[in-house]
Amino acid sequence: MSEIKSEDSKKWINAFIALASILVGFLFIRLFDQLGEWFDLEAKIGHFTIVSQGIGVLFGLGTFVAIFKNKAAFGHLDEVYQELIKVIWPGRDEVVKATFGIVIGLVIISAIFVCVDFIFQKLLDLVY
């Protein structure tokens, strides 16, 4: 796995903005498709699918331009990236040990819940 470098900040920020814009566009396409289904807009608007997808693309492009041109937002994303560079990622051995610890803990807690549930079920069977 490659390390994060400070000179790659523009590339990663642009990729993040592009992904966020694609997500916004997709969500607007889905929104307009759902609105079309609810209000039967397919029958009322000719080529409704093309119109809804065009609106989604326009919102996605608008999001991209709005974030890209906003110096405060771009500066904030740059600060976030600069802080991300400082993160010390755990090694493979640490991750494996933590994963095993979590799995063992979950098994123990699950066993306790199963036992308590079994006990309560038997007590309720005696009562009813």
* pTM for the model: 0.67
What's the pLDDT score for residue 7? 80
Looking up tokens 């500066």, which residue turns up?
A: 75
Q: For all residues of the chain together, what is the average pLDDT?
A: 93
CA angle centred on 68, ends 63 and 71, rounded to 5°: 125
> Which tens digit of pLDDT belongs to each residue from 35-92?
999 999 888 888 999 999 999 999 999 999 999 999 999 999 999 999 988 888 899 9
The span from the CA of 37 to the CA of 48, in Å, is 11
The span from the CA of 87 to the CA of 55, in Å, is 39
